[in-house]
């Protein structure tokens, strides 16, 4: 038996256990610890320790092994070029890209409890400077009867200062925006009126209150045409009203620099609109365009990200494979493009969707299917295609690179598929962050100089 951990007191053991329980259930933690101390840990024991009924006593090995379930703290002497906040964070794809470009996350907002579990299992958050909120409306007070003045004062007090605001906000039509009593009294104007009742409203409020150097807003490609173009028009008008210049705002048609395909970075077609904005008054935006994004000379192939020995449970059942096969034939006969997407090591996949857990039809890994032999041939039934594993989805989205620590997946396969299908291609946003970095730092320095000048004048 390894020596009981004496370097970490009971309170530290309990802290680690509770932190692990924010992402993993008691059964998973007990199973993980059982690899070090077979037969010692059970889910019931984990629960009793977490509830304070028993002191959690970890051996040194157990303590270190439990730490592996959680993100590693960065070096204490790590320097950051800028701070950012991560709104509608999902599982942290945009955050990861901006961290890799030298940024530090100081606030996160995400409401989905399963996404929060995955986020906390993979992104280190130092309580000394990082805040975590589930509902962004807790920050913006948009779900209260606070006056505008009270709401903005709360945002200024609550949200840490930052240079970049990141938000992958949901796409909602402003035509259904709610009209509050305040609006009817004539207190609201501009974006406060036009975007009220949507979650973009909350993003805009934070921008107005904190005035970051820049922002990055991410959404589906069809944002431009959503609600007959009204949604995009209102968003752009609001950002202009807030005093921000948006990169490539007037670009239309194809190609549009604001529409970035993840296939330039990973073997997956995934087009998303990326709105990059800078404060006009700082003058750091001149000449910036997303046309200048640096694409990698080489990217991983699908073969690079596939597991060598995936669990057989990801292979389609004969019944599901037959259904998808016949469904495809039926729709092709009608001239439709519906059907499965069979891919091999050198292919680029279709877009991974949040519904992938249902049948996996958009991306099926070929295991040797030969259409010349017929569907029910013994060889074809033996070599039925399979879904991607959750780990392969993590790699397809760029959350994990060769040689890196594995991306932790503390949730069920169904939830994992939904999370990756709703996320972003990480290296896309690393490239965006690197393109913005020098201008963000310049804007940060300009603001610092202005503050110092104001301080000297006040003195």
Active site residues: 171
363 vs 181, 201, 324, 340, 355, CA distance in Å? 49, 36, 12, 7, 11
- Give residue for tokens 């970049």: 164
Angular region, 2: left φ>0, alpha ψ -120 to 50, beta rest: beta
In sequence order, the 6+-apart residues with CB closer than 8 A to the CB of 135 are: 109, 111, 143
Separation CA 90–CA 397 (nearest Å): 13
Separation CA 70–CA 21 (nearest Å): 10
In sequence order, the 6+-apart residues with CB closer than 8 A to the CB of 410 are: 23, 24, 28, 69, 117, 118, 121
Polymer length of the chain: 459
In sequence order, the 6+-apart residues with CB closer than 8 A to the CB of 371 are: none
In sequence order, the 6+-apart residues with CB closer than 8 A to the CB of 444 are: 82, 163, 213
**In the 8-state DSSP scheme, what is residue 144?**
S
Handedness of CA 78, 80, 83, 87 (dihedral sign): negative
Task: Determine phi and psi for 125, rounding to 5 degrees.
Answer: -130, 115
Structure-token pair, residue 371: 């259409």
Largest CA distance in the chain: 87
The H or E element spanning position 165 is: strand 164-167
Handedness of CA 207, 170, 421, 349 (dihedral sign): negative
The residues pairing with 86 across neighbouring beta strands, listed in sequence order, are 108, 166
Separation CA 248–CA 301 (nearest Å): 30
Whether 100 contacts 122, CB under 8 Å: no
43-51 contacts: CB < 8 A, separation 24 or more?
Answer: 46/17, 46/21, 49/14, 49/17, 50/14, 50/17, 50/18, 50/21, 50/26
Whether 416 contacts 388, CB under 8 Å: no
- CA 314 from chain centre, in angstroms, equals 25
């Amino acid at each position: 038996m390894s020596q009981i951990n004496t370097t970490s007191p009971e309170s530290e053991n309990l802290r680690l256990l509770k932190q692990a329980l924010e992402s993993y259930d008691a059964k998973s933690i007990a199973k993980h610890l059982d690899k070090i101390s077979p037969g010692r840990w059970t889910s019931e024991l984990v629960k009793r320790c977490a509830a304070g009924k028993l002191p959690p006593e970890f051996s040194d090995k157990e303590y270190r092994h439990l730490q592996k379930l959680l993100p590693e703290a960065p070096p204490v002497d790590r320097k950051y070029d800028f701070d950012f906040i991560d709104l509608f964070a999902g599982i942290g794809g945009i955050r990861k890209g901006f961290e890799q470009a030298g940024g530090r996350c100081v606030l996160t907002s995400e409401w989905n409890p399963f996404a929060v579990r995955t986020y906390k299992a993979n992104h280190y958050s130092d309580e000394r400077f990082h805040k975590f909120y589930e509902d962004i409306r807790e920050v913006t007070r948009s779900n209260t009867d606070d006056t505008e003045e009270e709401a903005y004062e709360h945002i200024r007090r609550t949200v840490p200062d930052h240079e970049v605001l990141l938000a992958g906000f949901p796409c909602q039509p402003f035509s259904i925006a709610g009209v509050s009593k305040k609006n009817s009294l004539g207190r609201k104007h501009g974006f406060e009126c036009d975007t009220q009742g949507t979650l973009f409203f909350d993003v805009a409020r934070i921008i107005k209150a904190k005035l970051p150097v820049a922002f990055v807003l991410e959404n589906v490609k069809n944002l431009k045409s959503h609600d007959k173009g009204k949604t995009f028009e209102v968003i752009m008008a609001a950002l202009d009203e807030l005093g921000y210049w948006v990169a490539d705002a007037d670009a239309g048609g194809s190609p549009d620099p604001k529409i970035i395909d993840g296939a330039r970075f990973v073997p997956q077609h995934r087009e998303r609109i990326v709105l990059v904005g800078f404060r006009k008054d700082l003058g750091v935006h001149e000449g910036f365009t997303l046309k200048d994004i640096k694409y990698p000379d080489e990217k991983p192939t699908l073969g690079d990200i596939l597991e060598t020995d995936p669990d057989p449970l990801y292979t389609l059942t004969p019944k599901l494979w037959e259904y998808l096969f016949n469904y495809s034939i039926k729709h092709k006969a009608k001239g439709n493009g519906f059907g499965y997407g069979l891919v091999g090591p050198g292919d680029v996949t279709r877009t991974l969707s949040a519904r992938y857990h249902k049948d996996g039809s958009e991306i099926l890994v070929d295991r040797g299917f030969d259409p010349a032999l017929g569907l029910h041939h013994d060889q074809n039934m033996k070599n039925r295609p399979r879904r991607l594993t959750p780990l392969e989805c993590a790699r397809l989205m760029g959350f994990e690179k060769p040689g890196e620590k594995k991306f932790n997946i503390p949730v069920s396969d169904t939830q994992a598929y939904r999370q990756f299908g709703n996320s972003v291609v990480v290296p896309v946003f690393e490239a965006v962050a690197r393109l913005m970095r020098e201008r963000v730092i310049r804007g940060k320095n300009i603001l610092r100089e202005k503050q110092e000048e104001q301080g000297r004048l006040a003195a």
